[in-house]
Amino acid sequence: GESVGLHLPTLSVQEGDNSIINCAYSNSASDYFIWYKQESGKGPQFIIDIRSNMDKRQGQRVTVLLNKTVKHLSLQIAATQPGDSAVYFCAEIQGAQKLVFGQGTRLTINP
């Protein structure tokens, strides 16, 4: 079946630097994507979303880019802080109410 996957399982960046987390998806019919942040011992927390009719969406220190041509999604976090250390998941809406999650990328912010 179709699934959402991630290019890199781990990513380390220096505090203050920008980070980019990537995600590939295979269902070209998907029209809504979400990025979640999961801190240790907690449930996933919504960060930002994007619909397929958009290429870019910005939030506070975060930007999501969508490239439908190559079915690629990325999450950019600006000026990373220690609190940004977490596992980040992209999720794809497949059908009504069904989120399909990728494997996740563990982001570590080094002091």
Partner 1 sequence: NAGVTQTPKFQVLKTGQSMTLQCAQDMNHNSMYWYRQDPGMGLRLIYYSASEGTTDKGEVPNGYNVSRLNKREFSLRLESAAPSQTSVYFCASSIPTSGVFQSSTDTQYFGPGTRLTVL
User: Which residues form the interface with partner 1 (CB under 8 A)?
Assistant: 4, 9, 32, 34, 41-46, 48-49, 89, 91, 93, 96-104
Nearer to partner 1, 19 or 35 (CB): 35
Nearer to partner 1, 15 or 39 (CB): 39
CA distance 70 to 79: 27
Nearer to partner 1, 53 or 69 (CB): 53
CA distance 22 to 75: 6
CB-count exposure of residue 45 (10 Å: 0-12, 13-18, 19+): exposed
Shortest approach of partner 1 to residue 16 CB, angstroms?
28
Q: Return the closest-CA partner of residue 107 out of 4, 33, 31, 15.
A: 15
Shortest approach of partner 1 to residue 17 CB, angstroms?
25
